[in-house]
Amino acid sequence: MDPSEVSESTSIYIDGVRVAHFVLDGAHLMGAAEVTLPAAPSYDYALCGRITIRTKEGATETHVLDSGATLKELDSHAFEAFATENFTSFYLSDLASQDVGPPPDLHHTQACEIPDS
Residue range 58-81, pLDDT digits in tens: 999 999 889 999 988 777 788 888
Cα 91 to Cα 83: distance, rounded to the nearest angstrom: 6
* pTM score of the predicted model: 0.86
Query: Which of 108, 117, 87, 89 has its CA nearest to residue 2?
Result: 87
Cα 110 to Cα 67: distance, rounded to the nearest angstrom: 8
For the segment 37-63, the average pLDDT, to the nearest whole number, is: 92
Report whether pLDDT(18) > 60. Answer: yes
Per-residue confidence band for 44, with pLDDT thresholds at 50, 70 and 90: very high
Report whether pLDDT(117) > 70. Answer: no
Cα 58 to Cα 41: distance, rounded to the nearest angstrom: 45
Query: Which of 18, 42, 19 has its CA nearest to residue 113?
Result: 18
- Range with lowest mean pLDDT among 5-9, 11-15, 40-44, 112-116: 112-116
Residues 6+ positions from 8 with CB-CB distance below 8 Å: 1, 22, 23, 24, 25, 49, 50, 51, 52
**The pLDDT value given to residue 52:** 94
CB distance 45 to 78 below 8 Å = no
Cα 5 to Cα 54: distance, rounded to the nearest angstrom: 6
End-to-end CA distance of the chain: 20
